[in-house]
């Protein structure tokens, strides 16, 4: 039996956990001769025999048995080599197996002309040969190293044996791993997309060691510069795990703006609302970046507490030093969180927040910036009674938009909507779309509140 026959018999003996792909039917001798001319280097005798038999081929393991590595994943080195590619004659759509394309793309450093013959998937290096048939291994652009063997098929056959043995190890690991064979990388992928919440629930039921491996992998990906919105939301799916919360808190404190704002937003929806998150959110209020401040203020809404009133008021003052604050969202989120914090406090807390809100009922640069301040007063309801004099002044002004908002807030605080219904119905017919919207909203709220009383 020839060396080539032994190799093909080895492939035939592989079990169903492997797939073998051939690039094309065995080529004619003329095509192989033309290929050799393109390369400018004589084909190694064993490489030529293999091309005559199969053109080019790939041997890969079943993904269910051997989950593919994902970006920045930490695994033992052998777990990255889940298949083998043998370069030869291939179609344009199979350039990954085209020996001419791969020889050009994988050229080593120096003047030596080498033909790239094959590689193990997941490896940056390949194996090939020079015009004399001497075997080398190298990475693109790097100096080649001579191999001890002269037999290309012998090296290839050895790779297949290694692949078989490693596949068996992966299969054993899969039986022990969480999720029926899912390693940390597979869990990370499961946490992405629409199925993330379901996968997160399953993962939180796994042993702590499994969750730790997943969280460490996500943290490593983020540290290496992975897109924050891709990976931080995967942490969100398992935020109930303290390590995931720690990682989210770390990215809320430092990193680029995208990472910080994303992490802050996630902490605002944390299922357990742990108190240890609050200092991180409060610290972010002191930042100069308004996006970070806005996300921190919005997140704090879930943890509202009277102790937050002072830092929130301080953050508002800082935000409003920028003349363009009315065009941003930071102040609006601060108003809402101030109201929520005041509702959990005593009368003095109510009054303090009302004073902040009523000072912002008619910003000069944009009337629309007053909407959130009015809505915060509406949310406070009767506990914002200190605002009534200021609201009565707002009702009397000529701007129908602000006047309608003031009527809504006055009715919500006093419980007396009746005096405002006729003016609000008139405003609901105004040409100004913004006026119509706030008037219609006020009328709907008045109806809803009346139903509750009756």
Across residues 20-34, what is the average pLDDT? Answer: 89
What does the pLDDT read at residue 180?
Answer: 38
Given a cut of 80, is residue 454 above it in pLDDT? no
What does the pLDDT read at residue 181?
Answer: 39
Secondary structure in 3-state letters for the chain: CCHHHHHHHHHHCCCCCEEEEECCCCCCHHHHHHHHHHHCCCCCHHHHHHHHHHCCEEEEECCCCCCCCCCCCCCCHHHHCCEEEECECCCHHHHHHEHHHHHHHCCCCCCCCCEEEEEECCCCCEEEECCCCCEEEECCCCCCEECCCCCHHHHHHHHHHHHHHHHHHHHHHHHHCHHHHCCHHHHHHHCCHHHHHHHHHHHCCCCHHHHHHHHHHHHHHHHCCCCHHHHHHHHHCCCCCHHHHHHHHHHHHCCCHHHHHHHHHHHCCCCCCCHHHHHHHHHHHCCCCHHHHHHHHHHHHHHCCHHHHHHHHHHHHHHCCCCCHHHCCHHHHHHHHHHHHHHCCCHHHHHHHHHHHHCCCCCCCCHHHHHHHHHHHHHHHHHHHHHHHHHHHHHHCCCHHHHHHHHHHHHHHHCCCHHHHHHHHHHCCCCCHHHHHHHHHHHHHHHHHHHHHC
Across residues 351-380, what is the average pLDDT? Answer: 95
Give the chain's mean pLDDT.
90
d(CA 266, CA 278): 13
State the pLDDT confidence band at 178, using cuts at 50, 70 and 90.
Answer: very low
Q: Which residue has the higher pLDDT, 169 or 401?
A: 401
Across residues 375-395, what is the average pLDDT? Answer: 97
Indicate the angle between helix axes 242-253 and 278-285, nearest 10 degrees: 10
Smallest CA-to-CA distance from 51 within 9, 10, 23 is with 23
**Stated pTM of the model:** 0.62
Residue bearing tokens 């005041």: 342
> pLDDT digits over 86-127, tens only?
999 988 777 899 999 999 999 999 878 999 999 999 888 999
Please give the share of the chain, as a percent, with pLDDT higher than 90: 66
Residue 215 burial (CB < 10 Å; 0-12/13-18/19+)? buried
Smallest CA-to-CA distance from 147 within 121, 107, 117, 105 is with 117
Given a cut of 50, is residue 160 above it in pLDDT? yes
Listed range (45-54, 200-209, 218-227, 313-322) with the worst mean pLDDT: 218-227
Strand order in the sheet with 126-129: 18-22, 57-61, 83-86, 115-120, 126-129, 135-138, 145-146
Across residues 321-338, what is the average pLDDT? Answer: 94
Given a cut of 60, is residue 194 above it in pLDDT? no
Listed range (178-182, 305-309, 337-341, 389-393) with the worst mean pLDDT: 178-182
175 Cβ contact partners less than 8 Å away, ≥ 6 residues apart: 181
Smallest CA-to-CA distance from 115 within 97, 133, 98, 130 is with 130
State the pLDDT confidence band at 179, using cuts at 50, 70 and 90.
Answer: very low
Q: Which residue has the higher pLDDT, 249 or 254?
A: 249
- Please, what's the largest Cα pairwise distance for the chain? 103
* Contact present, 115 and 135 (Cβ < 8 Å): no
> pLDDT digits over 236-250, tens only?
889 888 999 999 999
Domains of the chain: 3-175 (3.40.1580.10)
Smallest CA-to-CA distance from 152 within 49, 279, 291 is with 49
> pLDDT digits over 271-329, tens only?
889 999 999 999 999 999 999 999 999 999 999 999 999 999 999 999 999 989 998 99
What does the pLDDT read at residue 226?
Answer: 76
d(CA 441, CA 405): 9
């Amino acid at each position: 039996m020839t060396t080539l026959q032994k190799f093909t018999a080895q492939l035939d003996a592989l079990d169903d956990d492997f797939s073998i792909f051939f690039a094309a039917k065995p080529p004619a001798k003329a095509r192989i001769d033309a290929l050799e001319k393109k390369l400018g280097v004589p084909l190694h005798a064993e490489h030529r025999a293999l091309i005559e038999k199969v053109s080019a081929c790939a041997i890969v393991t079943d993904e269910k048995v051997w989950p593919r590595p994902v970006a920045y994943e930490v695994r033992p080195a052998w777990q990255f080599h889940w298949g083998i590619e043998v370069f030869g004659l291939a179609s344009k759509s199979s350039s990954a197996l085209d020996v001419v394309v791969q020889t050009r793309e994988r050229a080593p450093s120096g003047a030596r002309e080498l033909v790239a013959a094959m590689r193990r998937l997941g490896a940056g290096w390949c194996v090939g040969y020079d015009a004399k048939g001497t075997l080398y291994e190298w990475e693109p652009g790097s100096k080649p190293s001579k191999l001890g063997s002269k037999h290309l098929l012998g090296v290839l056959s050895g790779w297949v044996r290694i692949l078989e043995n490693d596949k068996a190890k992966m299969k054993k690991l899969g039986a022990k791993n969480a999720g029926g064979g899912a390693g940390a990388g597979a869990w990370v992928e499961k946490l992405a997309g629409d199925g993330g919440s379901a996968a997160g629930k399953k993962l939180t039921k796994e042993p702590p060691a499994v969750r730790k491996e997943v969280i460490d992998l996500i943290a490593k990906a983020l540290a290496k510069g992975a897109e924050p919105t891709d990976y931080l939301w995967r942490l969100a799916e398992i935020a109930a795990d303290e390590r995931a919360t720690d990682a989210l808190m770390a990215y809320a404190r430092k990193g680029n703006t995208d990472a910080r704002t994303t992490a802050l937003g996630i902490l605002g929806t944390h299922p357990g609302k742990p108190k240890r998150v609050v200092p991180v959110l409060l610290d972010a209020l002191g930042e100069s970046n308004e996006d970070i401040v806005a996300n921190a203020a919005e997140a704090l809404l879930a943890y509202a507490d009277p102790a937050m009133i002072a830092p929130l008021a301080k953050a508002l003052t800082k935000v409003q030093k920028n003349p363009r604050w009315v065009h941003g969202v930071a102040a609006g989120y601060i108003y809402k969180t101030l109201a929520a914090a005041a509702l959990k406090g005593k009368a003095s807390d109510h009054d303090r927040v009302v004073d902040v809100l009523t000072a912002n009922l008619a910003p000069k640069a944009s009337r629309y910036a007053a909407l959130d301040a009015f809505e915060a007063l509406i949310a406070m309801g009767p506990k914002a009674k200190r605002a009534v004099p200021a609201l009565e002044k707002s009702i009397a002004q000529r701007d129908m938009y602000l006047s309608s908002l003031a009527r809504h807030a006055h009715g919500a605080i006093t419980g007396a909507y009746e005096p405002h219904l006729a003016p609000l119905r008139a405003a609901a017919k105004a040409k100004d779309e913004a006026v119509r919207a706030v008037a219609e909203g006020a009328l709907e709220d008045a109806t809803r509140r009346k139903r509750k009383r009756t």
